[in-house]
Structure 1
């Protein structure tokens, strides 16, 4: 099953408000959030699954539950979202 076939809604927000804002930003850009078990609070998945994008797999990144520096981690997540290969190559079509 492709991740594009379903939407996951997480009712519980991340405990850090800066990271919650970035998660909402990612969702506005089409990224999907999946709740995780273990050290990560969740996982962000890029919905485009382009062959050029990070070894031909979904761009994905873990959302840590308690990062050491939450401001830095929020900026890190935003960079990953903004540097998505699909968005960069197709930004004219998306506007």
Structure 2
């Protein structure tokens, strides 16, 4: 996995990975750095994913959006409530 040039976005990517999300290569998109998706193997959470842009207008805001997407994932919330 390559690292994002912006430290705020890289920290958000690492946060998502620490919560069980999966890093997916961007493919042929020139603007997309990578994609993050919920790592639920049952396929129950297929709608939880987020594109990570290479050069967003406001990197700090984009990093916040990534963290919010991870935090709003029902799978993550259910794991946290079991602890």
Give the TM-score normalised by structure 2.
Answer: 0.85
Q: Which structure would you say has the larger Rg?
A: 1
Question: Match for residue 75 of structure 1?
Answer: 64
SS of the aligned residue for 1:91 comes to: helix
Bigger relative contact order, structure 1 or 2, given CA contacts below 8 A and separation 6+? 2
4+ residue segments displaced more than 4 Å? none
Question: Match for residue 66 of structure 1?
Answer: 55
Query: Is the contact made by 2:12 and 2:66 (CA closer than 8 Å) also made in structure 1?
Result: yes
Aligned pairs (5 A) from 1:1-95: 10=1, 12-36=2-26, 37-38=28-29, 39-48=31-40, 49-50=43-44, 53=45, 57-93=46-82, 95=83
Give the TM-score normalised by structure 1.
Answer: 0.75
- Residues matched between the structures, number: 79
Task: Structure 1 unaligned segments of length 5 or more: list them.
Answer: 1-9
Task: Give deviations 1:47-89, integer Å, cap 9, x for gaps.
Answer: 1132xx4xxx241110001000001100011000001011223
CA distance in 1, matches of 2:33, 2:59: 13
